[in-house]
Amino acid sequence: DAGVIQSPRHEVTEMGQEVTLRCKPISGHNSLFWYRQTMMRGLELLIYFNNNVPIDDSGMPEDRFSAKMPNASFSTLKIQPSEPRDSAVYFCASTSAGTYVRGYTFGSGTRLTVV
């Protein structure tokens, strides 16, 4: 099992540019979560999906952020336009809905720097 795969590992972009982060969950997992980690705010849940359907997006900071899960094996988090305050590490995690008690499996994260 390759685990949760995120790409890219690092992204440096200029303010105003569009950024797309990608996540491939573990095969068979049908819940997917996007978290953002910063020194100031710790780990924040941005959005999560069950069976490809967004369940709770209350953590998405503003309309510049959007997330999609077109199928069970792929999700994207897009920021358009990006701003320096979006600089953070973005984690994707997955689990099996109904059995999340096993805990999430996290990807290695994408470190985003907006200059």
Partner 1 sequence: AQSVTQPDIHITVSEGASLELRCNYSYGATPYLFWYVQSPGQGLQLLLKYFSGDTLVQGIKGFEAEFKRSQSSFNLRKPSVHWSDAAEYFCAVGAGLTGGGNKLTFGTGTQLKVEL
Q: 48's torsion region: left (phi>0), alpha (psi -120 to 50) or beta? A: beta
48 binds partner 1 (CB under 8 A): yes
Give dist(CA 94, CA 97) in Å, integer. Answer: 9
Enumerate the H helices of 33-99 as residue ranges: none
Nearer to partner 1, 54 or 81 (CB): 54
Among 4, 19, 23, 77, binds partner 1 (CB under 8 A): 4
CB of 15 to partner 1, least distance (A): 25
72 binds partner 1 (CB under 8 A): no
Please choose, from the candidates 61, 76, 70, the residue with its C-alpha nearest in 3D space to the C-alpha of residue 8. Answer: 76
101 binds partner 1 (CB under 8 A): yes
Q: Segment near partner 1 (CB under 8 A), from 19-27, 67-75, 76-84, 107-115? A: 107-115
